[in-house]
A and B are shown apart, each in its own frame.
Chain A
Amino acid sequence: MSGRLEVMKTYKLYINGAFPRTESGRSYEITSNKGEFLANACLASRKDLRDAVVAARAAQPGWAKATAYNRGQILYRIAEMLEGRSDQFAQEISLQTGASAKESLQEVSDSVDLLVWYAGWSDKLPSLAGSTNPVSGPFYNFTVPEALGVVGAIAPIDKPLLGFVAAIAPILVSGNTAVALASSTAPLSAISFAEVVATSDLPNGVLNILSGQQNELAPWFASHMDIDGLDISGLPVDQHGAIKEAGVENLKRISAFTKSSEPGRILAFMEAKTVWHPIGN
């Protein structure tokens, strides 16, 4: 490294396909597990969350209208982009968490594989989760799963990349748009992940990423009237009750999960729509 000073990255938010700083002008220091300075991350505010929700809401109808094949290919493309940058992501995970190089590389590989797994669900889950219903009468009757709308996600503190991917992939694959809060202590992986997303043809606003404090932002996620669902897997269990209570005002669909790969994670943020039509001439 002698003679050359490293160009360090400024970690920002990811809202509507752009990389803005927080409107609050606040930042907080991210350190390695040994206490060394790594970066000043944006300390996102309630206003940043609201801006992100506006972007997510605007992007939602278009993303839901994209074909399942198209959504699957875009999620797969994200996996491709991530795979190509495995070393960089592994290094970043190790720096933040102190995980060994091998462990970090495993986390990246798992994240890539998880994206591929969810990508494949896009055009399969609707046939498994839908039904045609043999009603007693001259009607054609069917039920289809449909994206919920805008879904928030509080990513877990540990596993800064895998936990984040496990939160957002099942939300996005069905046609929801997402506003996700990165790991509060290790947000750099999620912010770097935004660079992967930005080169994967995911339409602007479909995934919005904030860095900041869970304690500050989670209640605003819960009470926001234009967020339809919320994944609180990343929050400590003792906070779930208060968050669920705050989400009642718009009967937000709130769930927490223990497994990273399960179709239930997708279905938790889908609605079932039943359609009746008479048969006759």
Chain B
Amino acid sequence: MNFEYAAAPESRSVVKIDPVYGHFINGKWVNGSAHFNSINPATEEVLSSIALGSTADVDAAVKAARNAFDKSWSKLSGRERGKYLFRIARIMQERAREFAVLETLDNGKPIRESRDVDVPLAAAHFFYHAGWADKLEYAGVETTTTPHGVVGQIIPWNFPLLMLAWKVAPALATGNTVVLKPAETTSLTALLFAQVCQQAGLPDGVVNIVTGDGSTGSAIVNHPGIDKIAFTGSTEVGKLIARAVASTNKSLTLELGGKGANIVFGDAAIDETVEGIVNGIFFNQGHVCCAGSRLILQESIADEVLEKLKRRMDKIRVGDPLDKNTDLGAINSAEQLAKIRELTAAGEAEGAGRWSTNCVMPDKGFWFAPTIFTGVTQAHRIAREEIFGPVLSVLTFRTPAEAIEKANNTPFGLSAGIWSEKGSNILWATQQLRAGVIWANTFNKFDPTSPFGGYKESGWGREGGRHGLSAYLKGSAK
């Protein structure tokens, strides 16, 4: 029997993309002095021309944010601040389809994910934090209720709108004003979010969006008028930022890279585990800092899991991100594709066994087939470095202690997975793993109420939940 899917594309008529965008500063659109193209990574079609933020643009945005902080935002009661956030959450829900289609066009992720994960979670983050704005005095033992002031936020391209929500919602709820820079390849949903701020009647200058590249980010990090920096991205850039602000009074939170271990014990429910492994590494093309990119299998079930995993992987549908049946979309950029190719080539050169699915991929755009490497040792680059693509490295273990040792043998500490049917074993492993988020018999679940963030070189601080608020409130430590 042949179960072919008919094409089921989502209509893109719901979005209107301007041919050129400026920055959103002090509630107005400001023309950029230079521009770069934003393309659809699934087709390489140019979507729009994006302003390249200069030092002067960043300076204007910081001044607007400072002015808004001094004159309007800090004068509002928490209750009134919260009501603006509730409005934003509602407008995002109302315009959800528009956001989802735009995100998929700009990022390359499947519409099923932008529609069911990114956009609803982004709205949920605003709704959740809206309710905190007038309850900060109950938020915890480690914080004051005093905001930092002007916050500079730099976000990545893998979940553009969702990362904006993770950053902007807690910042506003706690009474800060914002200068945000979206990633170079994915500015469009942030610019649409600026329209949401306008519709919500948010006071001018409370949210400022400056588009651009690393130089724009650097101008934000080094601007003396900014009180706090929040960054999500690579560990390499995170360290550059940490060094840049070390001798300043700026606060800093970082959400950086990972090399998540996904441990499968011999007593795991195999079919559910295989689904979880697929979700752990192929969700969002593997462009996930907390991806389960190291599969650590107990030897007794390794062959069975790998056989079922390969069979399941062959069913992954790679292709048009706007097609509602697509599981794996486009790699976000040519640059990222080159990085994935370089690391997978290193995996082969170092002796690991490569297996990829036989999917047919479009001629244009950036694509990479779901891939696993077996026979990976801890010394291999593909076991140590973040690939940030649909590539899984498989290691094996005999004893639980060996599994933990391998899982923790990384400078990262963002996420880990445990698959086992034995509760005491799960809780034991949970205690041993040095990671900020542990998924047991599930993977890649997110919620605004649930703190997210890493141990070790995966970052500083948490986002979400009560813990995430402290990043945006002054603490007693310096």
Contact = CB atoms under 8 A, between A and B. Distances in A.
A135 B449 contact: yes
A264 interface: yes
A205 B368 CA distance: 50
A259 to B, nearest CB: 6
Interface in B448-478: 449-453, 455-457, 459-460, 462, 465-467, 475-478
Interface string B135-166: 00000111000000000000000000000000
B278 interface: no
A3 interface: no
Interface residues of A, number: 42
For the residues of A in contact with B, the DSSP-based class is mixed
A129 B477 CA distance: 16
Interface residues of B, number: 45
Interface string A171-201: 0000000000000000000000000000000
B451 A139 contact: no
A251 B254 contact: yes
A248 B246 contact: yes
B411 interface: yes
Which of A240, A263, A264, A278 gathers most chain B CB within 10 Å?
A: A264
B243 A248 contact: yes
Nearest to A121: B141
B456 A143 contact: no
Nearest to A141: B450
Interface in A223-281: 228, 240-242, 244-245, 248-251, 253, 255-259, 262-265, 267-268, 271-278
B438 A139 contact: no
Contact of B451 (A248, A264, A265, A274): A274
Contacts of A228: 456
A170 to B, nearest CB: 11
Given A131-B466, A245-B243, A264-B475, 16 more contacts: A129-B142, A131-B467, A139-B442, A143-B467, A228-B456, A240-B478, A244-B242, A245-B246, A250-B457, A256-B477, A257-B477, A265-B477, A271-B455, A272-B436, A274-B437, A277-B441
Interface of A: 125, 128-129, 131, 133-137, 139, 141, 143, 228, 240-242, 244-245, 248-251, 253, 255-259, 262-265, 267-268, 271-278
5 contacts: A133-B449, A241-B247, A250-B411, A257-B476, A259-B476
